[in-house]
Structure 1
Amino acid sequence: MDNKFLKQQPNKYMYIEQGRQGKLGLWKYLPIPLVFMGLIGLQYLIVSILDIDVAAMMEKEIQSKGKNRFFAENMLFMAIFLAVLLFWVRYVHKQSILSLTTSREKIDWGRIFFVFGLMASFIIISTLVIYFVYPDTYQINFEPLPFLILTVIAILLVPIQTSFEEYLFRGYLMQGVGIATKSKLTALIVTSVLFGIMHIANPEVEKIGYIIMVYYIGTGFFLGIITLMDEGLELALGFHAANNLVTVLLVTADWTALQTDSIFIDVSDPSSGYEVLAPVLIIFPIFLYILSKKYQWTNWKDKLFGVVN
């Protein structure tokens, strides 16, 4: 069937099955995930074998380049990967970017902006509450010019970084693993665990311990669930962009992967308790409830545990 016709009728398939619109082949799905996850694994091995102090190394780079330049260079790395991924999907798989994004006839920007606003509001309000209730937690770091430069960089590059991660894990791999195994649950588990593993070399892991992987993998499951239930990437794209964008502008710490000229610096001693488990056990379920009511999700069993046709 002509691919142009399929582009015009994307809702012929449910979201995972959208991958069938392109030219299938296991070899086509392997190169990009293997290269990307291989680089992550190599970085982790080098750090572990050579016993490198990641935080100290980052601090040295920041002192040399400045926070804004260091941040921009890290974001540009992801922009290159996003361009390669979308090129690969479009010209190797012969699949439309629309079908990689959603099962709807067009991308629903209203969904993206709604969940972006919801998550951004939550981060801002919760941060301000913590600041006023526990003033020793945050130190004001606001400097107008560096913050203005950061804002421009972040608005331009952070959505690209988060979109790459969503298109890779909740899009490309979710569709590929689902079609290969014919199982939505397997696709959800594999992509969520890989999403968590992607963060294993982050300095947060060194600082807090491997317990923080519960948060990373839990975030992967949350984003995977809303993608499957909503039959598209829009909610995951909006949520992830808000989480990273607002966080880098609002608050940073000297032990995190994203150190920026933000408004606040978190000077508290990080712990592996409430901060790790609260999002997974409390915040994500609340968001699931809100989104499920707004978008009237039904048939949870089939959408999360069903067979991919």
Structure 2
Amino acid sequence: MDPQQPGQSSQPGQHPPPAPHPQQGPYPPAGPYQQPPNQQPPGQQPPYPQPGAYPQPGQYPQPGQYPPPGHYPPPGQYPPPGPYHQPGQYPPPSHYPPPGGQYPPPGQPPFWSPEQPPPWGAPPPYPGQFAEREPSVVAAPPSTPYHRLGRNAKHRWWRPVAGTLFLAAGAVVLTAVVLIGWELVHSMITGEFSEPQGNDLFPSDTENLAVTLVMLGILTPVVLFTAWLVQRRPWFSVASVLNRIRWRWLLLCCLPGLGYLVLSYALGILVEQIFPSQDPVGTDDGSWVGLGAFVVPALVIIFLVPFQSAAEEFVFRGWLIQAVGSYGPDQVDGRARWLKAALRTPWPGIVISSVVFVSAHGYTGWAMADIFVFAMTIGWLTVRTGGLEAAISVHALNNLFAFLLPAAMGQLDGWDEQGGAPWTLLLVDVPCLALYAVAIVWLAKRNRVARVS
């Protein structure tokens, strides 16, 4: 039998008394969270980290396992203040959101501009705080069709009317200046002033044609200046939705224009054989005048007719269509919805510009109907393609043919005579214009020509 240990009973069934705790004192024994980690029972880890054992980045404690207050950094170890917390750089009180408001996103300073006010309302600006000058010229909003390019942020009801009057006055003044200057140069070269005889200002038919083409061609800068000064929009917004002349598209439109001329001349001869008349279509009397007599008129026609044709398009298909189209309201709610909806379409401007275009010429009878159809077609193509290029190309080619043929046949003296025509003119011109319109629309789709701003 083993020797009896102190504090143990030798009687069977009796347990020895408990040994005294090695740390007897007034305090209770240490809890499980104050014992060293190596004395914890297996599988039981303390829910709180030990003093000094901060979590690594990305290993933050789970909910309910936050470190005790003593684990936070002592005062004085917080990050330094940022650049917006320096003295004198605090935003004014009105820039802070109200309680429960929406604060600016992270990384955005608490300063706002008049264009982007805070969600809780723009504060009243300080004197000179937002002294940004309002632009004097404003383009139309994006996705604006051609006929509504005149309705920009500066639009007022009186601007199209005032612009039309200014354009008319400027045309009268500039044509008078051109005529006086031409007369002075003519007198310096010939040594005498010319006296007008009827509709002829000068004794030479070529000179009369040249001065007339110059007086018409000078209308283009008048239209551009009127759009900039009165309507406060870009100069060449009259030309296209891209605020410029699309030269590549203009040259491309000349191909269907040449086809229009060839087809109209061929159909004129064919229709004349079927329906003969006293005023044939597509034929001219006269004979070849010779190269020497044809060179000077041909050069005048080739160099000046494109400017004259473009000027007429800028006035009629450009300014007038956009002036009428600018009255189309942005919304069609309220009274007279049908009228507002109609003004938003390009047709009022196309019809009005076509009527004015016919009245500006001296045609009568069926010739008036023919030129009205011509104006309506190229007016629709202007809006459909977003610019004047298709109208300028066919107008210039048609006028070149109309002037060069009489000049070659010695009939340039009747270049300004505009009268009637047989009904067969419509039979010739309508199919040609329809094919030209189809070809232009197809080319515009194929080349992705811009239709809106």
| TM-score above 0.5 | yes
**1:34, CA displacement in angstroms?**
5.3
Alignment partner of 1:89 is 2:239: no
| Residue among 127, 151, 157 paired with 1:20 | 151
Contact 1:75 1:157 in 2 (8 A): yes
**1:213, CA displacement in angstroms?**
0.7
Which structure ranks higher in relative contact order (CA pairs < 8 Å, sequence separation ≥ 6)? 1
Alignment partner of 1:186 is 2:348: yes
SS of 1:94 mapped into structure 2: coil
Could you tell me which residue of structure 1 aligns to residue 371 of structure 2?
216
| Residue among 238, 242, 246 paired with 1:100 | 238
Distance 1:11 1:30, change over 3 A: same
Contact 1:10 1:99 in 2 (8 A): no
CA distance in 2, matches of 1:96, 1:220: 25
**1:225, CA displacement in angstroms?**
0.9
Contact 1:22 1:94 in 2 (8 A): no
Distance 1:66 1:11, change over 3 A: farther
What is the correspondence of 1:88-237 to structure 2 with a 5 Å cutoff? 88-104=226-242, 106-123=244-261, 127=265, 137-180=284-327, 181-199=343-361, 202=362, 205=363, 209-237=364-392
Give RMSD over aligned pairs: 3.7
Aligned amino acid, residue 215 of structure 2: F
Deviates more, 1:128-137 or 1:187-196: 128-137
CA distance in 1, matches of 2:389, 2:295: 28
Aligned amino acid, residue 386 of structure 2: E
Aligned length: 261
In structure 1, runs of 5+ residues without a counterpart are 39-55, 260-268, 298-302
Distance 1:4 1:272, change over 3 A: same
CA distance in 2, matches of 1:3, 1:243: 39
Could you tell me which residue of structure 1 aligns to residue 96 of structure 2?
none
In structure 2, runs of 5+ residues without a counterpart are 1-133, 173-196, 274-281, 328-342
Larger Rg over CA atoms: 2
CA distance in 2, matches of 1:257, 1:296: 38
Could you tell me which residue of structure 2 aligns to residue 238 of structure 1?
393
SS of 1:296 mapped into structure 2: helix
Deviates more, 1:27-36 or 1:76-85: 27-36
CA distance in 1, matches of 2:293, 2:357: 31
Alignment partner of 1:2 is 2:164: no
TM-score (norm 1): 0.70
SS of 1:147 mapped into structure 2: helix
SS of 1:290 mapped into structure 2: helix
Higher helix share: 1
Contact 2:351 2:376 in 1 (8 A): yes
**1:125, CA displacement in angstroms?**
6.7
Aligned amino acid, residue 88 of structure 1: T
**1:118, CA displacement in angstroms?**
2.8
Distance 1:162 1:136, change over 3 A: closer
**1:255, CA displacement in angstroms?**
8.6
Question: Per-residue displacement from partner, 1:25-57 (whole Å, max 9, x unpaired)?
Answer: 24323315655999xxxxxxxxxxxxxxxxx94
Could you tell me which residue of structure 2 aligns to residue 273 of structure 1?
423
Distance 1:65 1:118, change over 3 A: farther
CA distance in 1, matches of 2:267, 2:434: 21
Could you tell me which residue of structure 2 aligns to residue 283 of structure 1?
432
Could you tell me which residue of structure 2 aligns to residue 51 of structure 1?
none
What percentage of residue pairs aligned between the two structures are identical? 19
Aligned amino acid, residue 28 of structure 1: A
CA distance in 1, matches of 2:229, 2:439: 38
Contact 1:131 1:138 in 2 (8 A): no
SS of 1:20 mapped into structure 2: coil
Deviates more, 1:163-172 or 1:114-123: 114-123
TM-score (norm 2): 0.50
**1:236, CA displacement in angstroms?**
0.8
SS of 1:139 mapped into structure 2: coil
**1:177, CA displacement in angstroms?**
0.3
Contact 1:82 1:164 in 2 (8 A): yes
Could you tell me which residue of structure 1 aligns to residue 165 of structure 2?
31
Contact 2:325 2:349 in 1 (8 A): yes
SS of 1:65 mapped into structure 2: coil
**1:162, CA displacement in angstroms?**
1.0
Contact 2:350 2:380 in 1 (8 A): yes
Contact 1:90 1:97 in 2 (8 A): yes
Could you tell me which residue of structure 2 aligns to residue 53 of structure 1?
none
